[in-house]
Structure 1
């Protein structure tokens, strides 16, 4: 499909595409249960995260570059999403797990249409897919801003 897709995101995409439409939705729900918790320094400081306006549910994200003992160009994505919004929470979890640990260059090279490649278009509304595209765009913009201010 796309040769620039980092391995973690390619593996997630392939896992979805190997499943039936109904099982893809189940895998998305499993991802929603696996959304990594915010690091301690961000807990109670959710106001420091950026709201993803493209999502109907209240999703907040932030990225770090080269913090917490990581190499200078390693990206970490952190997100919060309510348990009552499992689809959106699942999308946030896919991105948090798939992007965290990648280099700045790898994150910025992820195609904007990555969410469309997961094969969820029939199972999830276009509005929700657009929310994940928005999340990815905001992550990439935050990474660019972090690099520019470093």
Structure 2
């Protein structure tokens, strides 16, 4: 958290490459608050059944169902799709930056051989903009 960076190991990604995620100020604060509740297990969201493992994706699905969302209405992946849509529609970010932030590879093999940029600086700005945007929505600005 001190580096404002979250590393998702390649074994957990579709591309099999580590995925680096820049963290906004709000994200860092939220992670600190969650860690204070969950303790120093090594995971921000540990499994309740097996504390030395991370929480399963099914836990999020179950929480959405308890909130009243049917499986055809909302899924964890739906949050990613919503973020992608809103970031693209904002017109503030290059589509490649959004795709890199989502950890997507390039479907065009020729293009991917030549375009290897991570768009890191723009992704950091986008992460902070996104958190600020969510804060504005919470305040109903």
Higher RCO (Cα < 8 Å, 6 or more apart): 1
* Same topology, TM > 0.5: no
Larger Rg: 2
Scaled by the length of structure 2, the TM-score of the pair is: 0.29
